Amino acid sequence: MTAPLLSAQGLCKRFGAIAACRDVSFELNEGEALTIVGESGSGKTTLLNLIGGALAADAGEVVYRLRDGTARALSSLTEAERRALMRTDWGFVHQDAARGLRMGVSAGGNIGERLMALGDRHYGRIRENALEWLARVEIAATRVDDPPTTYSGGMRQRLQIARNLVTRPRLVFMDEPTGGLDVSVQARLLDLMRGLIADMGLAVVLVTHDLAVARLLSHRMLVMKGGEVVESGLTDRVLDDPQAPYTQLLVSSVLAA
């Protein structure tokens, strides 16, 4: 058996008196999408930051299988190794596109930057790649030289996705990727993400409070409350036959997920 792509073991994090993450464990493989749901303050963003290496855990460990097949604890990586991982094998799609994009740089530059970070210096090839990815995320080639400040919210999210996927990462973290968008724009984005996840066999860790998004995009779910995982399992099982009191409350609070 090969090691899982990502494995979180007993993750804990406190902020002063508040336990933001208590003993969370899970495993993820290529092609699997996992959603973390819960209300604001439930600890889901803390968990995402712990897994993504943006926060150091008080206890527990995240182990990742690198492209060369070795499984390494993230805490054992050198800073250079961690940066390389984040630039190539991982992607981050933020709710606020301004956090994931360079707002003053052209769309083509935003996509090309990650390729250049990998050492590609061939301008023609980088531009060709950028145009190909703009097409894949349904942005007109005529907008390649415009900066994202001139883009709509939905277009910015699609550009963020293109910027991340151009290096063919194996794992993508998404934090409320459809938050704040109009419903019609959300549907287009979700559909695009669904297709890309399936085509590229991506592993995805998705944080959302939108249960319909979780149902559409993910295979498995963790439900968090007060820093703890109160329920986990197959997404449609958790949504259709919730067991924990908190999950029942979440599911019954929305119209139709």
Partner 1 sequence: MNALHANELLRVEGLSKTFTLHLHGGARLPVLHGVSFTVAAGECVVLAGPSGVGKSSILKMALGNYLVGEGRILVADGERVIDLARADAREILDARRRIIGYVSQFLRVIPRIGAIDIVAAAAQESGLDRAAARERAASLLARLGLPERLWSLPPATFSGGEQQRVNIARGFAGRHRLLILDEPTASLDAANRQAVIDLIAERKARGTGFLATFHDEDVRLRVADRVVDVSRFSDREAA
Residue in 66, 131, 187, 196 binding partner 1, rule: CB under 8 A: 187
- Interface positions, 6-65, toward partner 1 (CB under 8 A): 32
Output 39 or 240, the one with its CB closest to partner 1.
Answer: 240
Output 35 or 49, the one with its CB closest to partner 1.
Answer: 35
Tell me whether residue 12 is exposed, middle or buried, using C-beta atoms within 10 angstroms of its C-beta: 0 to 12, 13 to 18, 19 or more.
middle
249 binds partner 1 (CB under 8 A): yes
Both tokens of residue 104?
């003053």
Residue in 2, 78, 142, 252 binding partner 1, rule: CB under 8 A: 252
- Nearest to 118, CA basis, from 97, 89, 92: 89
Report, in angstroms and rounded to the nearest whole number, the Rg of the chain calculated over CA atoms: 18
- Interface positions, 205-234, toward partner 1 (CB under 8 A): 216, 219-220, 233-234
Q: What count of other Cβ atoms lies within 10 Å of the Cβ of residue 228?
A: 16
Within its chain, how far is the Cα of 102 from the centroid? 18
244 binds partner 1 (CB under 8 A): yes
Residue 237 C-beta: closest distance to partner 1, Å: 6
**Residues 6+ positions from 229 with CB-CB distance below 8 Å:** 24, 26, 222, 223
Output 145 or 240, the one with its CB closest to partner 1.
Answer: 240
Both tokens of residue 190?
């979700």
Which residues bind to partner 1, rule: CB under 8 A?
A: 32, 187-188, 190-191, 194, 216, 219-220, 233-234, 236-237, 240-241, 243-245, 248-249, 252
